[in-house]
Amino acid sequence: MRKEDILLLHISMIVSIKYAFSIDCYVCTSLNGQNQACEDKFQRDLTTSLFINRTCYFAYFKGTHCIKLKGIRADGSSILVRQCGDYDWGSHCGDILYDAGDGREELVDGCLESCNHDGCNSAIQNKWSVTLFLFTFLCIRYVFELC
């Protein structure tokens, strides 16, 4: 078997595997403690499973991080937000400008945390491309016919 044939075989096998990175985040909001299931002492059970966002889009793109914002709004009410995000904001506390939707922004005095690991419901799924799988099969067949 020639080196070129082996190289072609390896490349075709690598290209056949398509990785899709996805993350599942809890998505919920609690204002002044009105949504107790979303509040801290958050339990990962059937009660909160309805908050899991399996598609986790942030704007037009797939989310890459889970975000939690907890703090006090300008009017003195508490806010807790769990959502998907497309950026690693790290972890910090202080004045945070929160996008409340519909072009509204509000200042929240609190803490923001973002994460992208299994504890935040991330997942990596391997998906096969049928076209590339067939291409790989044909390449392997071709290589063995040469031998």
Is the domain of 136 the same as that of 90? no
> Domain limits at 145?
1-24+128-147
Number of domains into which the chain is organized? 2
List, as one string, the DSSP characters of 13-32. HHHHEEEEEEE-EE-EEEET
Kindly state whether residues 45 and 111 are assigned to the same domain: yes
Instruction: Tell me, yes or no, whether 59 and 79 share the same domain.
Output: yes
pLDDT tens per residue across span 123-147? 233 445 566 666 777 767 777 777 6
In a shared domain, residues 35 and 16: no
Asked whether residue 65 falls in the same domain as residue 107, the answer is yes
In this predicted model, what pLDDT tens digit does every residue of 15-56 receive, in sequence order?
554 444 567 788 888 999 998 888 887 666 656 666 776 677
Residues 6 or more apart in contact with residue 75 via CB below 8 angstroms: none
| Pair (14, 52) in one structural domain | no
For residues 120 and 137, the answer to whether their CB atoms sit within 8 Å is no
Q: What is the pTM of this model?
A: 0.62
State whether 82 and 137 are in the same domain: no
